[in-house]
Every structure is written in structure tokens, then in C-alpha cells.
Amino acid sequence: MSAEEVKKVVLDIIADVAPDEEVSDINPAESLRDQLDLDSMDFLDIVMELRKRHSVEVPSEDYPKLATLNSCVEYLTPKM
């Protein structure tokens, strides 16, 4: 999967987990949790959706690597 495809996957999952948030306004270099007012359960839902939809396991020690959209793409691209 290309970086652009991974970005779309992440944005689609965020849109499903936080349907009231406008994903098109996301700054890819800023914290997703701060921009979207995600709580820890929302973040875990995103991680679970990655596993369910794409069989990607993200160990808890790697959660900080999913802080921004850019870091999500960088971390997930080789795994997808």
C-alpha cells in the first residue's frame, strides 16, 4: 500500500470512530488527539479498527508513533 492509500485508510477509520469531526481539516503534523478531541477510548477504537480491517497489530508501546497523521502513515505504510 502506498503512503497516500494508508493516509486514506487512517482518515476513513477516524471518520468512523469520530463521525462529528471534520477529517479534511486535519493538520498532518499536529497531534490527532488534540485536533480532534479524541479520548483514550477513541484512540483504542482506531487501533482496533486497524487490526480488524487490515490485520495490523500495533503494540501498546508503539501507540506514541500514531500521534499525528504523518507519523501514522510513516509507521503503518511498511506494515500494510
Question: Which pLDDT does position 20 carry in this prediction?
Answer: 87
The domain that holds 66 is classified in CATH as: 1.10.1200.10
Burial class of 10 by CB neighbour count within 10 A (0 to 12, 13 to 18, 19+): buried
Supply the range of the domain harboring residue 15.
3-79
pLDDT at residue 21 in the model: 85
pTM: 0.89
Number of domains comprising the chain? 1
Its sign, for the CA torsion 65, 55, 69, 32, is negative
Q: Which of 13, 1, 20 is nearest to 69 (CA)?
A: 13
Please give, one letter per residue, the 3-state secondary structure of 9-49: HHHHHHHHHCCCCCHHHCCCCCEHHHHHCCCHHHHHHHHHH
| Residues in the chain, pLDDT under 50 | none
